[in-house]
Chains A and B, each alone.
Chain A
Amino acid sequence: MNKCTLVLTSVTYAYKAAGILAAEGMRAYPVKSPDVEKVRGCGYGVELYGDRETALKILAQSGINVIGAVDERRRG
């Protein structure tokens, strides 16, 4: 299973994104992870278990601004 973190602007958008992805049958959970902090100070995102491109497309269609994505395999 692919796992990555999609970085969002706030915890509000993290919950909104998780809800939208869940409605589309994707597993995604709101998180505050070091991955998020690498992108923009403090922040939140969703931990995604599934296809990143599909998730990004769904969120774009819902007007959600994803400001970064960090793959699991890149973690040190």
Chain B
Amino acid sequence: MIYFDNAATSYPKSPAAVRAVAEAMRSCGNPGRGGHAPAMRAAKIMYECREKAARAFGTDPERVILAPSCTAALNMAVKGYINSGKVLLSNLEHNAACRPLYSMRGAGRIELVSFDALAKDAAEDFAGKVKGASAAVFTHGSNVCGKLLPLAALVKHAHENGALAVVDAAQTAGYREVSLERTGVDIVCCAGHKGLGGPMGTGLLLINRALDITPATILEGGTGVYSLDEDMPPFLPERLEAGTPAVALFAGLSAALDEFSLYSDFSAFDLLCDTLRDIKGVTVYCPDKGEERLPVLLFNIEGMDCEDVTERLARKGICVRGGFHCAPLAHRALGTLSGGVRVSLGKQNTAEEVKIFCREIAAMAKTRI
């Protein structure tokens, strides 16, 4: 099998992460709900996971919210930290960012303004629109075409205008440095199961040390502390973590973070781009070589439905994703309103796999010419 769907989730997971999940299921109680050994073992696992994530992203452990997904983290960030006013978003956003914003707009709380992440100078377009905004919510890197946004520049423009910067790093965490400390970004949301290599069912909401806002809650319930109070605890992370967490999955994420290193070898991806672009009848959507990009691209074969392409590839044991990738704005911006085939590489993928893949695409394209 050739697995080129790492933007959906990384595969395979490391043996250490798998072992950690199993071990936690065998040995853990409910964290923060008791003082006996299994409960305290679980609490330690959760804390260690926070500590490792805090180190990787440049914040404090208590400012790491362990969420069930990046989507949940984005909902907490958007609905918890943004009250009202004008909010900027890019034209490459995933529904995980758009839909909470649309929901707030529908309730009459916010006004949305889009900036062009595909513009020659995205930061300039952003700077021209951010004046008067209360917040900006934008992806660090597109899940459709691999385009990277200039994170530090956008955060700088947002802060110069008094706007909160919320970043969706679902695709970039593990692929590019995402430092709250160095960029000053207020809030970062990411998945634990993509570039970080953890299990599905894990996400992170990371809050900058300098952000002194008590967020509104979108989920209330048991926290194991302040149990006599009607309101959720006023402090992080418990304020945003109601209910029993997925301890075993975070044990897996914690183990994956022990092996954490950024994706750095782009040679297989460069080969993929160059080869696909040379195939007659194939249109490739991704930044050019030399531009900042993720190992993610979209392509279409002239005269073929993207879902037919992915189905044919699946029958040959090649895993890619067709369709709209939960990002209609990005497909509108790219002019791919019939969808496309996404190919997303991970650290384990090789140039040999890329060659096999490209031969299949060339053969398919040839039948259409």
- Chain A interfacial positions (CB closer than 8 Å to B): 9-16, 19, 30-33, 40-44, 65
Contacts and interface: CB of A to CB of B under 8 A. Distances in A.
A9 B47 contact: no
Given A11-B224, A12-B47, A44-B225, A30 B40 contact: yes
B47 A42 contact: no
Contact of B225 (A30, A41, A65): A41
Contacts of B35: 31-33, 44
B34 A32 contact: yes
B47 A43 contact: no
A74 to B, nearest CB: 19
B62 A42 contact: no
A16 B35 CA distance: 16
Interface size grouping (class) on chain B: 20 to 34
Given A15-B44, A30-B40, A42 B225 contact: yes
24 contacts: A9-B225, A9-B226, A9-B233, A10-B223, A10-B224, A10-B225, A11-B31, A11-B32, A11-B43, A11-B47, A11-B225, A12-B237, A12-B238, A13-B62, A16-B47, A16-B62, A19-B51, A30-B40, A30-B43, A30-B44, A31-B35, A32-B34, A32-B40, A43-B225
Chain B contact residues: helix, strand, loop or mixed: loop
Interface of B: 31-32, 34-35, 39-40, 43-44, 46-47, 50-51, 61-62, 223-229, 233, 235, 237-238
A46 to B, nearest CB: 12
Nearest to B43: A11
A37 to B, nearest CB: 9
Contacts of B227: 41-42
A65 B229 CA distance: 18
B39 to A, nearest CB: 8
Contacts of B233: 9-10
Contacts of B223: 10
Contacts of B46: 12
B207 to A, nearest CB: 13
A41 B227 CA distance: 6
B32 A10 contact: yes
A9 B35 CA distance: 15
A14 B228 CA distance: 19
Nearest to B62: A12
A40 B40 CA distance: 19
Nearest to A29: B40
A12 B226 contact: no
Given A9-B233, A10-B235, A44-B32, A15 B225 contact: no
